[in-house]
Structure 1
Amino acid sequence: MESSAPLASQLRLAVLRLSRRLRQQAVDEITPSQLSALASVAKHGELSLGTLASLERIAPPSMTRIAARLEERGLVVRRSDDVDRRVARVAISPAGQAVLEQTRNRRDAYLAVRIQDLSEEEQELLARAVPLLERLAAESADLEAATPVS
């Protein structure tokens, strides 16, 4: 069996380029870290900052700064935990939900225009590749702990 290294390198570059283009479609001057945290809060509901930091795989002090910026812009609402007043919790605000929806719509539109330029056969091939890409993304969390970065 041939080495998968050349394919891995090509895929990495293509995914990074596409990811960069999609990040550029964000609205409201939001940073990728802020957008990711906002999306996590939208997906999981109200979260403690510690839980959100863990989900985002960043240090708690960094999450505190991100949450403060999101709160300043009215994209999340922060409150103290009912049980432990030392714990801060965040929930998405209507403005935050609007930013997420606008960003998702812009990104989907960006991709839709480019996909429309592909032939029918290329579109079918891309549709068949989506489940494979999802598997690669899902399995990466399991591999990260076992694979050293070099």
Structure 2
Amino acid sequence: MSTPENLSDEASDFRMATFRLARRLRAERAIDSMSDGQFAVLAALKMHGSHTLGELAERERVTAPSMNRTVNCLEEAGYLTRTPDAADRRKVNITLTPTGLDVVEETVRRRDAWLELALSELPPAERRLLADAAAVMRKVADR
């Protein structure tokens, strides 16, 4: 049975291992010079479709001016475009370009390949343990 002290140590160990794995996965990217925040914007557009600047800022939990700088940089690089909204000309929709989509897909491919290789080096029992842990991690993250 876990004591409060042990639970605190377990939580800390789990947090550190999760951050370390996430950092290692983030290192696998299609473009080394792209920041995590920039990639997150491209990934959000791929997953959820076009957004306004305000919607992107809210989704990524940053200020509108900060998001504007990120979007400007990504637009200049050709990864996304801004187009006036057909129904409301005051709004501008931000959409991935084919080049931006390629960056997201290549980054995801590299991250999956790295993780697949790492998992292939584990014994089957540890892979099953991680598969079970993934379900629990989703449950904790969805709280």
Residue 2 of structure 1 and its aligned partner are, at CA, apart by 1.9
Residue 6 (structure 1) aligned to one of 2, 9, 25: 9
* Local SS of the residue matching 1:77: strand
Deviations 1:60-98 (A, max 9, x none): 111101111111111111122334434322011111111
Please name the residue that 1:17 is paired with. 20
Residues 113-128 of structure 1 aligned to structure 2 (within 5 Å)? 113-128=117-132
Residue 131 of structure 1 and its aligned partner are, at CA, apart by 0.8
Are 1:57 and 2:61 an aligned pair?
yes
* Local SS of the residue matching 2:89: coil
* Local SS of the residue matching 1:25: coil
* Local SS of the residue matching 1:5: helix
Residue 121 of structure 1 and its aligned partner are, at CA, apart by 0.4
Q: 5+ unaligned residues in a row in structure 2: which ranges? A: none
Distance across 2 between alignment mates of 1:33 and 1:114: 25
Q: Of the two structures, which has the highest relative contact order with CA contacts closer than 8 Å and spacing of 6 or more?
A: 2
Q: 5+ unaligned residues in a row in structure 1: which ranges? A: 140-150
Residues 95-134 of structure 1 aligned to structure 2 (within 5 Å)? 95-134=99-138
Distance across 2 between alignment mates of 1:36 and 1:138: 19
Deviations 1:37-74 (A, max 9, x none): 11111111111010111011111111101111111111
Are 1:137 and 2:138 an aligned pair?
no
TM-score where L is the length of structure 2: 0.91
TM-score where L is the length of structure 1: 0.87
